[in-house]
Amino acid sequence: MAAREALSMLTTSSPASDYLPLALECRTQNQFNRLHIHLENILAPREFVLLADLARRQQFPERSRNWLEKIGGLSPGIFDKPQAFSRRALSENVLFYQDDERAPATKTLLVGFAGDARRLMLPIAAFLQCLDAREWDLVLLRKGPNKWPFSRGVEGVSRHLPSVLNFVKTSIAAGRYRRIVSLGTSGGGFYAIVAAILLDGASGVSIGGAAPKTSLGFRLRWQLAYHRAFAEREPAFKFVYSAGHDVDRRAATALQAAFGGKLRPVAGVTEHNALAPLLARGELAEFLNDILS
C-alpha cells in the first residue's frame, strides 16, 4: 500500500506505535513530511517518548530519527519529563488531552481553536509541554479538509458552532471543571473569543486572530448578542499579536475595539506566528501561564 493511502486510513485515535509501519513505507521526503506533520498535529508529549523508545530499539527510518531530534530541540525536556497528557479523539477533528489521574474539579479546561495548519501555531506536544498537566486539560477543535471557518462548525460534528460547543460540553462533562478558558490561533483566534462568550468562560485569548471576512450567520450572531446581554459577567479578553507584524496589530486592535479587553503585543517578533519565537527563547511556558491566568 502506498504511504499516502495508508496515512489517509489512519485516524486521530490511532496510538503512536501504529505509525512505525507507515514510516517504514515512506520513500520520499514529501511522504515523510506528510507523516511527520500529521503526528505533530495530534501526538501528546508522552507519545513522542514512545516513538523515541521505538527508535532506539527497532528498525527506524533515519529521516524519522532526525525529525525526533528536531522535536527534542524544539521542546527541551519532552523526552525526559513529558507532561502527563493522554490523547483521546472525541471525533476526527476534536481531540481531548488530559491527565487521567487528576480530577477535573481541580483543573481548568482549555478550549483550543486551531488555525488552517490544524495546530496552535506549534506541534501540539510542544504546546502541551508548556502547560502543567496537573492544572490543565485541552480540547482541541480543528478544521477539516475543507477548512471551513468555525462559524460553519466543525466537520464531522456539526455545521453550527454552538452545537459543536454543546458536543464538547457533553462529551467531557465540562461543567465539572473549575473554570473554562478558550484560546485560538490565527483563523481560530476570533472564534476563541466567541466561544468564551457562549461557554460562559472565564477568559478568551486570540493569538494572531482577525475578524472573519464572511458573515457569521443569523443564528450565531443572535446567540452572541443574547449571551452578552444576559450573562452575569463578561469573560476577560486578550488579543495577542506580534509587535512587529502590522497586519496582526491592526486586526488585534479592531477586535479589541469590538469586544473590549487587553492588547498583548509580543515584543521582538515580526512574523505572524507569535508563539514559535517565544518557544525558541524559552519564554513560552511563562507567557502562557500569564495570558491564561
The model's pLDDT over 122-139, given as tens digits with 9 standing for 90+, comes to 999 999 999 999 999 999
Mean pLDDT confidence for 47-60: 88
3-class state of residue 174 by DSSP: helix
Distance (Å, whole) CA 32 – CA 132: 31
Mean pLDDT confidence for 210-223: 87
pLDDT over 70 percentage in the chain: 96
Give the pLDDT band of residue 58 (cuts 50, 70, 90). confident
Query: In terms of C-beta distances under 8 Å and separation of at least 24 residues, what long-range contacts does 30-34 make, across chains too?
Result: 31/3, 31/4, 32/61, 32/63, 32/64, 32/67, 34/3, 34/4, 34/7
Q: Are 14 and 22 in contact (CB under 8 A)?
A: no
Q: Which amino acid is at 158?
A: S
Distance (Å, whole) CA 118 – CA 288: 19
Radius of gyration from C-alpha coordinates of the chain? 19
Give strand pairing partners of 239.
206, 263
For residue 21, the model assigns a pLDDT of 83
H helices of 199-266, in order, are 218-230, 246-259
Question: Roughly what angle, to the nearest 10 degrees, separates helices 189-198 and 218-230?
Answer: 50
Say yes or no to pLDDT of 271 above 90. Answer: yes
What pTM was computed for the model? 0.94
Say yes or no to pLDDT of 203 above 80. Answer: yes
Say yes or no to pLDDT of 209 above 60. Answer: yes
Mean pLDDT confidence for 176-194: 97
Task: Name the residue with cell 508563539.
Answer: 275
121: which 3 cell numbers? Answer: 501555531
Identify the weakest region by mean pLDDT among 3-7, 49-53, 71-75, 153-157. Answer: 3-7
Give the pLDDT band of residue 2 (cuts 50, 70, 90). low
Please provide the average confidence, as pLDDT, over all residues in the chain.
Answer: 93
C-alpha distances (whole Å) from 205 to each of 50, 55, 112, 237 are 32, 37, 10, 6
Mean pLDDT confidence for 63-87: 95
CATH fit for domain 86-292, picks 3.40.1030.10, 3.30.390.50, 3.20.20.10, 3.40.50.1820: 3.40.50.1820
Residue-wise over 42-65: b if at least 16 C-beta within 10 A, else e? bbbbbbbbbbbebbeeeebbebbe
Burial grade of 80 (CB within 10 A; 0-12, 13-18, 19 or more) = exposed
Say yes or no to pLDDT of 5 above 90. Answer: no
Distance (Å, whole) CA 27 – CA 5: 13
Domains of the chain, by residue range, sit at: 3-74, 86-292
Task: Name the residue with cell 465540562.
Answer: 174
